[in-house]
Structure 1
Amino acid sequence: MFNTSKKNKKGRRSPLATVSLLAVALMTTGGAYALFSTSANADDSTNTTLAASSQSQVNEGQKLFASNCATCHGLSAQGTSEGPSLIGVGAASVDFQVGTGRMPLAAQGPQGEEKPAQFTDQQVDAMASYVASLGPGPSIPSSKLTDGAEGDAAEGAELFRINCAMCHNVAGAGGALTEGKYAPNLRDVSGKHIYEAMLTGPQNMPVFNDLNLTPDQKADVITYLKYVQDNKSPGGFGLGDLGPVAEGLFIWIFGLGAVVAMTVWLTAKTN
C-alpha cells in the first residue's frame, strides 16, 4: 500500500500546470482577436476613406455640372427642351463628350464639333462620376482595351470595314453625311475616345454595345486604326484616302490628260 500511494502521488498533475494552460489559451485567443479586429478596422478605415474620396469627387462634379451644363440638361440632369436627359448615359458618355471638347456646345448646329477641351482631366472625371451616380450606364474603359497594343489589326480591319467604313471611310478619314452632318476623321483620336464612341453612340453614330461588338473586338478595331495612323499609304500619295472614286477621277483627269497632251506635243513636233 505504501508503494501504490507513492506512485499515485507522483503521477498527479500539478495545479500550476492547469493554470498555465488556461493562461496560454487566453493569450492566444486574445491575440488572434486583437489581430482580427485591427485588420477589420484597417479595412473599414480604407473603405471609408475611398468612399469619402469618391463622394467628394461626385460633389465636385455636381458643382461643375450646375455651372456649365445645367442650362441645357437641367439642374438634376433630367433634360430640357435644349438638351437630353443624362440619367443613365454613364461615365463613358461624359468622358467622350466633354473630353473631346464637343460639350459644352459652342453654338447650336447639326452636330457638336470637336474642339479643345475646356476642362482638366480631373474636372472631366469629376463630372463623369457625378453623372454616373445618377443611374447605371457604360463606364470608362480600361487602358488595356484602348491602348491599341493588345488587339488583332487584321481582325479589326475586317470589323471596321463591315461596321464603320461606310461613314468613316476605310482608312478612318471621315466623310460627309446628310443635313450638314459628317463622320469625323479618326486619325488623331485617342483609343479611349474611340472605344467610348463605339460604346455610347454619340450623335449620328449607332451604339455598339458588348453584344454587338465584344470588348476584345472593340480593342481590335482600335488596334487597326492605330496601325493606319502609324503607317502612311504604302502606294505613295493617298489622295486624302477618299477611295476609288477620287482615285479614278484623278487618273481620268491627270492620267488621260497627260496622254492627250503628250500626243498633241508629238504631233505638233512632227508637223
Structure 2
Amino acid sequence: MRLLNRSAGRLTRGRRGPLAGLVVLLLGLLMTGGLYSAFAPSQQAAADQATADDELVAQGRELFLVGCAFCHGKNGEGIETSDGQQLGPVLVGVGAAAVDFQVGTGRMPLAAPGQQGPSKKQAYSDEEREALAAYVASLGPGPAIPSEQDWSLDGLTDEEQEEAVVRGGQIFLTNCTACHNFAGSGGAMPEGGYAPNVRETEEQYVYEALLTGPGQMPSFSDGNLSQTEKRDVIAYLNSVDESPDYGGLTLGSLGPVVDGAVTWVVGIGVLVGFAVWIAAHTTRTDRKKKGEVTT
C-alpha cells in the first residue's frame, strides 16, 4: 500500500511539473489546429472561387458590351431615345434570374427594339448565358437563378402532390387567367402585346417569369408568392397538360372567341353550302323533268 501511495505521489508531482503543462498545451494546440484544418474551408479554395467568379463577371461584361450595351447602356443603366422613349430598361437590380430567363428563352438579344421580344432559339451558349447573368448580378442585388428543387414535387406523396395542384390552380385562376387564359394557352394583350403559352414553357423559365415579371407581366417576389406557391402553380400547369380532353377538340383551349369563330365559319359555312347544294340540285331536277315533258 505504501508503495502504491508513493507511486501515485510521484505521478501527481510529475503532472504538476512545468514540463507536463507545456506538453498538454502543445497537444491542445495541435488538436485544435488539426480540427480547424479538417473542417474549416480552405482559404486557398475561397480565393480560387473568388478569382473564378471575377473571371466569369469579366467574361460576361465583354459579352454584354458587344450584344447588350447598345440598348441597355455600358453599365446596365438603360438608354432613352431623344423623344423620351425607353430603348432598353435599366438592368441594375434585376438579378441573374432575369438574364437567365430572357437569354435562355431567346427573347434577348433583340435584332431591333420592338413591342415584345418573341421566344426563339437561344443565341448564346449555356456558358455565355451564365457569364452574362453573373455580370448583371454584379451590378446590384436581385433574384438569383433558382434550382430544380425550388419547383420540383419530388419527395411529396401522391396526396400532397394533388393538394399542390389544387392550390396552384386557385392561384393561377386568381392571378393569371386574365392574360394567359384558364388553360395557360396565352392570348392577346393591349398595344400589340401578347401573353405567351406557358404550357409550352420549361418549368425553370415559368418559375423565373413569376419571380422577375418580364415585359408587361407583374413580378411575384417571394413576399407576394412564396417559393411553395410558385411551385404549386407549375404543378397545376403540368396537370393541365396531362389531363385528357373530355370535350373533344379543344381548338387550342383559346376560349369562347375561337370556339365561336369556328362555329360560325365551319359550322354555319357547312350548313350554308349544303343548303346551296340542295337548291341547285333541286333546280336541275325540275328543269330535266320539264324538258322531258316538252319532248
Task: Give the TM interval when normalised to the shorter protein.
Answer: 0.7 to 0.9
Report the RMSD for the aligned CA atoms in angstroms.
3.3
Aligned AA (1:218): K
**How many aligned positions are there?**
265
Matched with 2:10 is: 13
Distance in 2, Cα, partners of 1:59 & 1:258: 64
Q: Residue 71 of structure 2 corresponds to which residue in structure 1?
A: 72
Q: 1:98 touches 1:124 (CA, 8 Å); kept in 2?
A: yes
Which residue does the alignment assign to 1:104?
109
Identity %: 42
Deviation larger for 80-89 or 231-240: 231-240
CA contact (8 A) 2:172 2:233 kept: yes
Q: Report the 3-state secondary structure (helix = DSSP H, G, I; strand = E; otherwise coil) of the residue aligned with 2:130.
A: helix
Judge conservation of contact 1:147–1:192 (CA < 8 Å) in 2. no
More divergent stretch after superposition (139-148 vs 237-246): 139-148
The residue aligned with 1:245 is 257
Matched, 1:220 2:217: no
Match of 2:148 among 136, 140, 143: 143
User: Which residue does the alignment assign to 1:3?
Assistant: none
Which residue in the other structure is 1:123 paired with?
128
How much has 1:240 moved relative to structure 2?
1.4
Task: Tell me: CA distance 1:73–1:13, structure 2 relative to 1, closer, same or farther (3 Å).
Answer: same
Q: Relative to structure 1, is the Cα distance of residues 33 and 76 closer, same or farther in structure 2, using a 3 angstrom cutoff? A: same
Residue in structure 1 matching 2:172, options 160, 179, 184: 160
Q: Is the 8 A contact 1:148 1:226 kept in 2?
A: no
Judged with a 3 Å threshold, the aligned counterparts in structure 2 of structure 1 residues 26 and 212 are, in CA distance, closer, same or farther, namely closer
CA separation in 2, counterparts of 1:105 and 1:253? Answer: 37
What secondary structure is seen at the aligned counterpart in 2 of 1:203? coil
Q: What is the CA-CA distance between 1:195 and the residue it aligns to?
A: 1.1
239-248 or 196-205, larger mean C-alpha shift: 239-248
Deviation at 1:72, TM superposition (A): 1.4
Question: Residue 197 of structure 1 aligns to which amino acid in structure 2?
Answer: A
| More deviation, 247-256/45-54 | 247-256
Q: In 2 relative to 1, CA 234–107 (structure 1 residues): closer, same or farther, beyond 3 Å?
A: farther
Cα 1:114–1:16 change in 2 (3 A) is same
**8 A Cα contact 1:156 1:220, kept in partner:** yes
Question: Aligned partner of 2:57: which letter?
Answer: V
Whole-angstrom CA distance in 1 between matches of 2:20 and 2:6: 21
Q: Can you give the 5+ residue segments of structure 2 that lack an aligned partner in the other structure?
A: 81-86, 287-295
Separation in 1, partners of 2:41, 2:190: 59
Displacement after TM superposition at 1:186 (Å): 1.5
Q: Give per-residue Cα distances to partners, 1:225-264, cap 9 Å, x unaligned.
A: 12223335232211111213333454466556777859x9
Render the CA deviation track for 1:41-94: whole Å, top value 9, x for unaligned.
753233222222222221211121112111211111111122121111111111
Distance 1:235 1:145, change over 3 A: farther
Could you tell me whether the CA contact under 8 Å between 1:174 and 1:185 is conserved in 2? yes
**Greater Cα offset, 131-140 or 203-212:** 203-212
Give how far 1:182 is off. 0.7
Report the TM-score, using the length of structure 1 for normalisation: 0.83
Q: Closer, same or farther in 2 for the Cα pair 1:240/1:27, shift >3 Å?
A: same
Q: Distance in 1 between matches of 2:153 and 2:267?
A: 39
CA-CA distance at 1:217 after TM superposition: 1.0
Q: Indicate if the aligned counterparts of 1:88 and 1:134 stay in contact, CA closer than 8 A.
A: yes
- 8 Å CA contact 2:151, 2:228 repeated in 1: no
Q: Residues 232, 122 of structure 1: CA spacing in aligned structure 2 closer, same or farther, 3 A cutoff?
A: farther
- Cα separation, 1, equivalents of 2:56 and 2:65: 14
The amino acid that maps onto 1:66 is L
SS of corresponding position for 2:216: coil
The answer to which structure, 1 or 2, has the higher relative contact order (CA under 8 A, 6+ apart) is 1
TM-score by length of 2: 0.77
